[in-house]
Chain A
Amino acid sequence: MTEHHTDTGQFDQETGKLGMWIFLLTELFLFGGLFLVYAVFRAKYSLDFHNAAQELNTFIGTLNTVFLLTSSMTVAMALTAIQKNSPRLALFLVFITILFAALFMVNKYFEWTHKFSLHIYPGSPVLKNLQKGELLFFGLYYMMTGLHALHVFIGMILLSINLVKIRKNVVNSGHYLLLENSALYWHLVDLIWIFLFPLLYLIT
């Protein structure tokens, strides 16, 4: 979002970072709306939520949490690497981060297709016969993890752009705002998952 350089000469790293932080704040509020809806319905239909949550595969959820947490670490290491002027190491670490993100998505794909094969998807006849709260739970499950997956995907694109820019030496030890902001974005994606995981998979 904020990698733009201007010709006014008044632009600096701090300005770009402040912009990114405010953008992340809006992202939190975007998901916040969904968390609010989750909270309201959980309070209203706690038993249904409890039952429905047992359908979710905690193993896959945990695995994905590990992937994302590790990738957050590698992207932070990549930033340090670029600051310490070792672009090759940074390239490698960004690549690893993208790899973890891809693993996350593959996992998510299998998780969703498994649900589909059980006819648990919005508008399915099986779902319509469930309790009201279970219906809402699966609706929220798809909406929240879907929106989150979209963010993972955008993060992968951002990180891929970084790969190219590091190779071209546009992102280097002097100018690493793009990588820093992408890393901030990636931490946000991670952070939201850290809330989604217990709310959807663990609290039963």
Chain B
Amino acid sequence: MTEPGHEAYVSYLKHEGKHKGILGWLLTTDHKRIGLLYFYAIIVFFFIAAILGMLMRIELIAPGQTIMGPQTYNGLFTIHGIIMIFVIVIPALPAVFGNFFLPILIGAKDVAFPRLNLFSFYLYIIGAVLGVLSQFMGSGPPDTGWTFYVPYSAQSSTNVIYALVAAFILGFSSILTGLNFIVTIHRMRAPGMGWFRMPLFPWSIYATAWIQVLATPIVGITLLMVIAERLLHIGFFDPALGGDPVLFQHLFWIYSHPAVYIMILPAMGIVTEIFPTFSQKPVFGYGAIAMSSIAIAFIGSFVWGHHMFTSGTSYASRWIFSFLTFIVAVPSAIKVFNWISTMYGGSVDLKPPLLYAISFIFLFMIGGFTGLTLGSLATNIQVHATSFVVAHFHYIIFGGMGFATFAGIHYWFPKMFGRMYNLKIANIAWGLNFFGFNILYFPQFIIGIQGMPRRYFDYLPQFQTAEVISTIGGFILFAGLILMLYNFIRAARKGEIAPANPWKGVTLEWQIPSPPPHENFDTIPEITTQPYLFGTSNKE
């Protein structure tokens, strides 16, 4: 694996530190290895949760009980939600790509606190395993939905406690990761890399990290209060103990709405790296993209009330939250315009990473616009708690964050593993994923408007056509995911050796060998220009 010109080059995959073999991975403090540990764990949990999702789709193929009863279905959508949200979508991008590429992109040898980083990983594993176990232990799978709404979550006789503790531990892990990244970005940028010479993925990770640090403690204490309510009968939210259930909804969404931006901001950061590379053109509107990340993080912290339009909150609070919700669309749209302008007039190369990035824009826009339908007061009443909501957030979370993740994997895979995947299979898998996704979720918008409620295992006969189409889409999507996974596993084992810079990228990760050496850089680079210059002579 030795590359010419690097006499002592050993990739991080082969590097031998204090510990050898498997311990060299399990006790590693190398940010790249920790990123990969997260990566493998998240793939496993993702397929667990995806299979749970498929089981729900199969149940919904016909009205009435098909393969499971209502209680099993309640357990399935709860644990599907908990795993997908807390174990995969919230941590995935910061923990995998943030860990792996943030230090490289800012020219650092590692994150600020490498051991704390490893500690976060183990907290993550404990929380994730506990979340999965809650499905199988004791008094039956939790059936509250991932939102744990009180009073039901204070009264349900199922394993709610395990799920709450799991979410609490995962939150703690998320806080420590965010803390680590903030300090890393503040203190460890390469000499000459001022804030506005930093690539845009680190910018989005920076905005994300602040939300992780500021919002997660709120859900942490809220979950603790529900735990105290269940275990010690201390009243906070349960009316039977004197508490106020709407207060729970406030506290829960004060975190959980910004959490949506924890999910989507790094996704935006990834596609922002991809568009310039595959257009061979400087990113359009660098400052606007960087600042809109911060704006989204900031405004996104003040919109939580739009989850509660039907909870009996006051009219004034409803229209204010509705207004603020519409405001968030502005920085999001700024980003979309900038991405499209980046491609305009560039030499666009439609490789798999760009295919996924463009699909991201398409799906994210559908998700975003339907978000406005939900954000306006009048239409919200019609579609609240219907499958319209399900379709909306799957378009944002899976179509947005999920497809951006796939884009990121396809983009950085040759750097992470030093090998190239099969482009043709990747394109076919993209087709299955993209069309399968739309076939799966678009019908849900239509029947949602017609009144199909979410979280029901049964439905009226008139919805069957749409539900069957959805289920077919689900199978296509699942096939695409399997094909994509196969492609990556094959490539990681015996794919062609990838060059250091297969996409002609200009950011720092492409200037070092693939896979990167143990401490990334032989000598820390001096930064003298903006990122994304592509041989043009733009001045600062």
A4 & B218 in contact (Cβ 8 Å cutoff): no
B221 & A30 in contact (Cβ 8 Å cutoff): yes
Q: Does B243 lie at the interface of the complex (its beta carbon under 8 Å from any beta carbon of A)?
A: yes
Q: How far is the CA of A22 from the CA of B183 in the complex (A)?
A: 9
Q: How far is the CA of A135 from the CA of B244 in the complex (A)?
A: 13
* CB nearest neighbor in A for B180: A19
Interface stretch of the complex, out of A5-13, A89-97, A196-204: A5-13
- Given known A30-B220, A36-B251, A136-B243, contact A123–B233 (CB-CB < 8 A): yes
**Per DSSP, are chain B's interface residues mostly helix, strand or loop, or mixed?**
helix
B218 & A6 in contact (Cβ 8 Å cutoff): no
Q: How far is the CA of A68 from the CA of B216 in the complex (A)?
A: 28
B292 to chain A, nearest CB (A): 24
* CB nearest neighbor in A for B214: A29
A8 & B234 in contact (Cβ 8 Å cutoff): no
Contacts of B213 in A (CB 8 A): 22, 25-26
Total residues of chain B contacting the partner, CB 8 A: 41
Q: Please encode chain B, from 80 to 105, with 1 for each CB lying within 8 Å of some chain A CB and 0 for all others.
A: 00000000000000000000000000
- From A23, A25, A44, A139, B235 is in contact (CB under 8 Å) with A139
Q: How far is the CA of A36 from the CA of B225 in the complex (A)?
A: 13
A143 & B244 in contact (Cβ 8 Å cutoff): no
Q: Please encode chain B, from 381 to 402, with 1 for each CB lying within 8 Å of some chain A CB and 0 for all others.
A: 0000000000000000000000
Contacts of B222 in A (CB 8 A): 33
* CB nearest neighbor in A for B248: A37
Q: Does B228 lie at the interface of the complex (its beta carbon under 8 Å from any beta carbon of A)?
A: yes
Number of A-B contacts (CB under 8 A): 113
B262 to chain A, nearest CB (A): 14
Contacts of B108 in A (CB 8 A): 8, 10
B280 to chain A, nearest CB (A): 33
B175 & A2 in contact (Cβ 8 Å cutoff): no
B187 & A27 in contact (Cβ 8 Å cutoff): no
Q: How large is the interface on A (under 10, 10 to 19, 20 to 34, 35 or more residues)?
A: 35 or more
- Given known A15-B187, A135-B241, contact A33–B221 (CB-CB < 8 A): yes
A139 & B234 in contact (Cβ 8 Å cutoff): yes
Q: Does A154 lie at the interface of the complex (its beta carbon under 8 Å from any beta carbon of B)?
A: no
Contacts of A136 in B (CB 8 A): 235-236, 242-243
B247 & A19 in contact (Cβ 8 Å cutoff): no
A19 & B221 in contact (Cβ 8 Å cutoff): no
Q: How far is the CA of A14 from the CA of B213 in the complex (A)?
A: 19
Q: How far is the CA of A133 from the CA of B175 in the complex (A)?
A: 33
* CB nearest neighbor in B for A22: B179
* CB nearest neighbor in A for B246: A40
Q: Does A18 lie at the interface of the complex (its beta carbon under 8 Å from any beta carbon of B)?
A: yes
List CB contacts (< 8 Å) of B481-538 with chain A: 519
Q: How far is the CA of A91 from the CA of B477 in the complex (A)?
A: 64
Q: Does A1 lie at the interface of the complex (its beta carbon under 8 Å from any beta carbon of B)?
A: yes
Q: How far is the CA of A41 from the CA of B243 in the complex (A)?
A: 9
B116 & A135 in contact (Cβ 8 Å cutoff): no
- Given known A18-B186, A33-B251, contact A4–B232 (CB-CB < 8 A): no
B372 to chain A, nearest CB (A): 29
List CB contacts (< 8 Å) of A136-192 with chain B: 136, 139-140, 142-143, 147
Contacts of A88 in B (CB 8 A): none
Q: How far is the CA of A34 from the CA of B109 in the complex (A)?
A: 40
Q: How far is the CA of A11 from the CA of B112 in the complex (A)?
A: 7
List CB contacts (< 8 Å) of A31-70 with chain B: 31-34, 36-37, 40-41, 44
Q: How far is the CA of A15 from the CA of B251 in the complex (A)?
A: 32
A33 & B218 in contact (Cβ 8 Å cutoff): yes
Q: How far is the CA of A12 from the CA of B29 in the complex (A)?
A: 18
Q: Does A132 lie at the interface of the complex (its beta carbon under 8 Å from any beta carbon of B)?
A: yes
Complex A-B, nearest 4 residue pairs according to Cβ-Cβ distance, in ascending order: A33-B221, A123-B233, A29-B217, A139-B234
> Could you name 21 residue pairs across A and B whose Cβ atoms are closer than 8 Å?
A1-B116, A2-B113, A4-B113, A8-B110, A8-B114, A9-B109, A14-B187, A18-B183, A19-B116, A19-B180, A22-B213, A23-B179, A26-B216, A33-B218, A36-B251, A37-B251, A122-B232, A122-B233, A122-B235, A135-B242, A139-B236
